[in-house]
Amino acid sequence: MLTSLAIRNVVLIEALDLEFGAGLSVLTGETGAGKSILLDSLGLALGARADSGLVRAGEAQASVVASFDPPAVDHRATALLIENGIDIEPGEPLLIRRLVKADGGSRAFVNDQPCSAALLRDLGGSLVEIHGQHDDRGLLNPRGHRALLDSYGRCEAGAIAAAHGAWRAATTALAEARTIVANAARDRDYLTHAVEELRKFAPEAGEEATLAEERATMQKGARLTDDLSAVSDCLTGSDGGLAQLRQAARRLDRIAGEEPLLTAVLEALDRAVVEAGEAEDRLAEAAEALSFDPARLDAIETRLFDLRGLARKHQVAPDDLAALRDEMAAKLAAIEGGEEHIAALEKDVAAKAAAYRAAAQALSAERQLAAGRLDAAVAGELAPLKLDAARFRTVVAPLDEGQWSAQGMDRVEFEISTNPGAPFAPLAKIASGGELSRFILALKVALAERGGADTLIFDEIDRGVGGAVADAIGERLARLAQSNQILVVTHSPQVAARGAGHMLIAKSSDGTVTRTGVHALSDAERREEIARMLSGAEITAEARAQAERLLEA
């Protein structure tokens, strides 16, 4: 619900702060007082095109701030804010601010966060509908008619949405399977050769690193073999260093007792024999570790060369060859079992399509019944609104299969015929603004609480009518105001008397500056304003008495 509107420097409005309540609020005033400026200001906040001509003369910019009650969690406005990353504080009002510069350009903010004009239009359309001279095409847009009819008729669309999703998923799976089989069949010969080659070669993940490490070890052994052999010759054998040490130790052992100093020499020589023996053992172990088989080295180098060659051929890493083999084998298997798989998917698609059609046909039948009830409800509202020659109908027509969706296979549109014998046409093509507003009112009353914005604004809905028709308009506006916030710009005293609140729009001038202002009327002021609307410039006692009777009624 719209709670307040703050306007600064818009045409004749210098500064204006308005508060709005629930129910029916009426705005009256002399022709030319500035009612259109007020609606233009609100339209600006709701995403209308920003025109620099709206900026008051001599000012740098104009601004409008509209405040709304916090939208409910399931309200479309809440979904729009979440989708566009606009922060929502629980319990805090929704603030929309629009700035227009005198030199062109505009800026928009929602809860003090910048937003696009497109978001502002969507958000404004979910919060307020304006009907009349400034109609924003709320109910006139056929894209929303199907949802309104479903809401009115309580047509449950959940089952058809699920059926449509299942059908589309099955269709996608079939298309993907056909693409895979077609591509695989085209490459059958290549796949057959490649899979056979890879199976025969039998690559393994990690094989390249293992082979390269083994080859490096063998190459190192080949490089050190001569040196190890020479070292071994120096140590081992009958003439080797270790044999010479042992022989020296034996001779020294026989004469060590002759001289104390020789005992120390013998001990040192024994230690040298032990160390040399350990060195001989380590040398043997190293020789064994670095030993290699030339045939094995040749086989490793050949395998490594072929492995890397296959990887280059298939443009993958050597470690990915095994996975590539399995992938290609799966494609071959898909060719062999593809037709059977596709046949099963085709049956699934047919079954899902049949389920969707059944659900869509059931929904279409519900919509047809709801359309009949809605047509009758609107027809009952037309005669009292001086539209007794007009006819209204809800068209529920089948769509082409390519247009079927999660909302069904129907096109829904509201149409009218304004005169006997005249063809039916869309609501938007009606000629008279007053007739259009009354049609919208009749439709809104028939739809009651079924969808739409919470705030409705009717601009001069009573134009060109009076008496009983004006009274019927006022009665229906009051009835509609039981479930919606209604603002109506009116010249009809019968409509004005129905309001829960009454604002007077007036223009004033001090000789140099002209301003438009809005004043909330007290009960006494309200009686006087309705009397003025009844009698004109000179308010008579009879007009005051009639105004009193209208207010009491």
In a domain, 303, yes or no: yes
Alpha carbon dihedral 80, 85, 88, 89, in 10-degree steps, equals 170
- Residue 134's pLDDT is 44
Confidence at residue 257, expressed as pLDDT on a 0 to 100 scale: 72
Read off the pLDDT of residues 386-413 as tens digits, 9 standing for 90 and up: 788 888 999 999 999 999 999 999 999 9
Rg over alpha carbons for the chain, rounded to the nearest Å, is: 47
Among candidate residues 439, 423, 457, 429, the one with its CA nearest the CA of residue 375: 439
What is the b/e burial string over 233-244, where b = at least 16 CB atoms within 10 angstroms of the residue's CB? eebbeeebbbee
Instruction: Give the DSSP letter string of 150-191.
Output: HHHHT---HHHHHHHHHHHHHHHHHHHHHHHHHHHHHTHHHH
Tell me, yes or no, if the pTM score tops 0.85. no
Mean pLDDT of 42-52: 87
pLDDT surpassing 90 at residue 246:
no
Q: Tell me the pLDDT band of 360, cut-offs 50, 70 and 90.
A: very high
Stretch 441-458: mean pLDDT, rounded?
A: 75
User: Residues 299-326: pLDDT tens digits?
Assistant: 888 888 988 999 999 899 999 999 999 9
Work out the average pLDDT over 434-461.
Answer: 75
Q: Which domain holds residue 296?
A: 192-329
Q: Determine, yes or no, domain membership for 403.
A: no
DSSP bridge partners of 26: 488, 502
Assess if residue 8 is contained within a domain: no
- Asked if the model's pLDDT at residue 287 lies above 70, the reply is no
Burial of 319 (0-12, 13-18, 19+ CB in 10 A): middle
Quick check: 52 pLDDT over 60?
yes
Least confident of 69-83, 210-224, 508-522: 210-224
Structure-model confidence comparison of residues 138 and 65, the more confident one:
65
Kindly tell me if the per-residue pLDDT of 474 is higher than 50.
yes
Q: What local confidence, expressed as pLDDT, does residue 411 receive?
A: 94
Beta pairing partners, 325: none
Res 237 pLDDT > 50: yes
Q: What is the pLDDT of residue 66?
A: 93
Angle, helices 433-447/321-382, rounded to nearest 10 degrees: 110
* 90-141 pLDDT, tens digit each: 788 999 999 999 888 889 999 989 998 889 988 988 888 887 644 544 577 7
Please tell me which residue, 424 or 269, carries the higher pLDDT value: 424
Residue 495 maps to a domain: no
**Other CB atoms within 10 A of residue 392 CB:** 23
Query: Encoding tokens for residue 548?
Result: 């009193």
Q: Which residue has the higher pLDDT, 395 or 236?
A: 395
Instruction: Dig out the tokens for 263 from the structure.
Output: 């005992």
pLDDT surpassing 70 at residue 232: no
CA gap 539, 530 in Å, rounded:
10
Q: Is the pLDDT of residue 543 over 50?
A: yes
User: Where do the H-state alpha helices sit in 483-522?
Assistant: 493-496
Domain for residue 222, yes or no?
A: yes
pLDDT digits (tens, 9 = 90+) for 331-356: 787 776 777 788 899 999 999 999 99
List the single range of 82-91, 170-179, 484-493, 520-529 with lowest mean pLDDT: 82-91
Question: CA–CA separation, 499 vs 161, rounded Å?
Answer: 43
Per-residue pLDDT for 461 more than 80?
no
CA 542 – CA 359 distance, rounded (Å): 64
Residues whose CB falls within 8 Å of the CB of residue 146, separated by 6 or more in sequence, listed in order: 367, 407, 408, 410, 411, 412
pLDDT exceeds cutoff 60 at 451 = no
Taking the alpha carbons of 402, 408, 409, 410 in that order, is the dihedral positive or negative? negative
Q: Which of 299, 300, 280 is nearest to 288 (CA)?
A: 280
Please compute the mean of the pLDDT values over residues 453-472 and round it to a whole number. 79
Q: What is the pLDDT of residue 436?
A: 75
Q: Is the pLDDT of residue 369 over 90?
A: yes
pLDDT of res. 400: 94
Q: How far is CA 373 from the centre of its chain?
A: 35
Residue 315 lies in a domain: yes
Question: With bands split at pLDDT 50, 70 and 90, how would you rate the model's confidence at 448?
Answer: low
Task: Give the mean pLDDT of 511-530.
Answer: 87
Q: Is residue 253 part of a domain?
A: yes
Average pLDDT on 444-466 reads 74
Convert the pLDDT of each residue in 151-196 to its tens digit: 888 888 788 999 999 999 999 999 988 887 777 767 777 888 888 9
pLDDT at residue 136, rounded to an integer: 41
The mean pLDDT of the chain is 84
Would you say residue 500 lies in a domain?
A: no
According to the model, what pLDDT value does residue 221 have?
67
Q: Provide the domain count of the chain.
A: 1
pLDDT at 394: 93
In this prediction, residue 233 carries a pLDDT of 63
